[in-house]
Each structure stands twice: as C-alpha cells, then as structure tokens.
Amino acid sequence: INTNLGKAESLEAIQSKAQGEFFAVTVEGKFERGSQNFILGFNKTQKIVGFFLAPKPVVSQYLAPSYADTTLYSEKSTYVTATGHQLAAIITTPKNVKNFPVVVLVHGSGPSDMDATVGPNKPFKDLAAGLAAQGIASVRYVKRTLVYPYEFAKAYTVKEEVLDDALAAITLAKTIPGVNLKSVYLFGHSLGGMLAPRIASSVPDLSGIILAAAPARKFTDMMLEQNKYLFDKANDTTKAAKTQLDLATAEIAKAKITQLGTIKPDSTILGISAAYWVDINNYDQVAAMKKITKPRVFIIQGGNDYQVSKQDYDLWKAGLAGNTNVEYKFYPELNHLLSQQVEKGTGAQYMSFSSVSASLINDIV
C-alpha cells in the first residue's frame, strides 16, 4: 500500500455494521497519493478476527461552502478521551485571533463520523468552517457508536452513547491554546440538542447552549410521527404497506417503557437496549432546560425538517416562556441537516449535496 499510495496521512472509522455475533468496521485511509478503505472484523470479545481491503465507494462529492475560507483558520487532529475510549477529533481554530470562543458539536442519533456525514453532506464540517471563518473555534469528534459498536450490543444508556464523550470534548475544548474560558459553548443537533440540558447540568460554567432541530417530545412520539409521515409521503395504499406501518407502530409502543420490571436491561426493543428506553423515556428535556437560567440558550428549527417539526419548536417556546435567557429562530426553508430546501421531502433528500445555511451560522455568531 505504501509503495502504491505513499505515506499514510489519516485513518478514520466511517461505518460500522453488525453481522451476527461479529462487527465489521470500515476504516477510510488517506495516503499521500490516494485513498484506500479497510474492513476490520471484530468478535464479541472485541478481538480483531479479520482484515480486508475494500474499494472506496463512489458517492456524490462533498463541496466546501463559500464561507469556508481556509486562509482564516487551521485544523488539528487529536482525540477525545473518555472512560478508556479514544475518539478521533478535529479542533478548528481561527487564525490571528486571540481569546476566541469555542463550540463543542454534539451529534444526533446513530453512528456518525466527526463531520456528521450523511451522503455527500457534512454539516459539522460546514459548521466548523463557518464558525472559524468568523473567529470561533470548534471541537468535533467521532461518535462512540461508530468506532465501538460491539459495546452497544449490551445494556447501555445515553450516558455511554452521548453524555460521557460530550463532557470529555468540553474538557478538551478548555485546553485549546488561545481559547476564552468564559466563552465555551455547546451545540447539540437533534438527539444532541435533546440531551444538551443534561450535558449542561454537569458543566455550570458553559457560556451558552445551541439546540438545533432538537426534539421537545418523547423519542417514541417522534418515531411514530416520522413513520406516519413517510407512509403518507410514499402514497402506497397496499395492504402490505399498511401492515408494515402497523407493525412498526406496535414495536414503537413496546419501547415506551418507563421501568424495567421483569425485562432484562440488555434485552432489545427496536434494536436498542431496554435500559436505554427506560432512561430516555424518564427524561424531560424541556423541564431540564427550564432549570438552566444562567447560560444563553438559542433554539433553532427548520420548517422543512420531517424528523423534528415545528411542534417541537413550539413546545420549547411554551415550556421555557419564563426563561429570559432563551432566544429562538425558525427557518421555514431548512431541513434536518440545516440546509436550505424547497420542500420537506424524505431521507432521499440527504443524498443530494447541500451546505449548512450561511444565515444560520451568522445567527449563531
């Protein structure tokens, strides 16, 4: 490989997939003269049992947005370390700026790389570039579920999935040379926004919190709405399609548990441990945020987002009506990836390239 492609420049886990008792992790390798993907096979004891070369898939190309002026910032590869886990991370810092603010970017649901890549879209990469071009640093990191998938085959909660690593990333952000320790911010997208109050409760010196496309309702309610929306959008009136919707609705109903009782913590509902459902179903994010009155809070929502809707945005506004530290902004044209769209669409929309809205970044700044 080194003979053909030259010296290795970076290795990054980009996908993980369960295959029976094994997990396959795809690693993207970037070299001086090209790239090469690898597949690592792990058994249930976390030992590597296979190593294969894989072709790099052909996908729509990511294009840097116009606001990503690389002469204005630099990027450094590092790691977020939490409870024995190392997660690849990038610190983006503005050039020729002293005492700058820093924002920690926290992912939504599911395995994700540090750019929050979906198809050709990289919303966290866009955000980091847009913020840095205006004098604001950021920390973004690979989500634990991407690089340690085998750990999530047992009982777990959002503590292991999100909280521990977000807190470690905030700790890392405070060590960046030149950072203003009185200007440390948290940006939570989707699930990350939903959990932002829980993260912030452990970091009382945060200067501000940004909730982007953050659910205000129960997770299971969101899932029901998404399934119904996609069913209606498909316009499939066949009995098979209706049966599929009914089965999905029944499975989601099982996930509404608020206590384990006789259910084993590591038993799965919708592929997720029962312990996870109990934990998140007992969490009231609006009530948790209402208790946070000191740092500034900015809640943003797009009108073309089919995963989180204006109903959630309105619930945040109603629930936090008495909190003078909270500001809101609704963007009728933005989707769940915070990019401008002409319609609400479905997940297929994410396979077409678009950048995070420049207006949204300007409003955050």
Active site (catalytic) residues = 190, 305, 336
First to last CA, the chain: 44
Q: What are phi and psi of 348, to 5 degrees?
A: -60, -25
SS3 of the chain: CHHHHCCEEEEEEEEEEEECCEEEEEEEEEECCEEEEEEEEECCCCCEEEEEEECCCCCCCCCCCCCCCHHHEEEEEEEEEECCEEEEEEEEEECCCCCEEEEEEECCCCCCCCCCCECCECHHHHHHHHHHCCCCEEEEECCHHHHCHHHHHCCCCHHHHHHHHHHHHHHHHCCCCCEEEEEEEEEEECHHHHCHHHHHCCCCCCCEEEEECCCCCCHHHHHHHHHHHHHHHHCCCCHHHHHHHHHHHHHHHHCCCCCCCCCCCCCEECCEEHHHHHHHHCCCHHHHHHCCCCCEEEEEEECCCCCCCHHHHHHHHHHCCCCCCEEEEEECCECCCCEECCCCCCHHHHHCCCCECHHHHHHHC
At residue 98's C-alpha, the angle toward residues 131 and 67, to 5°, is: 20
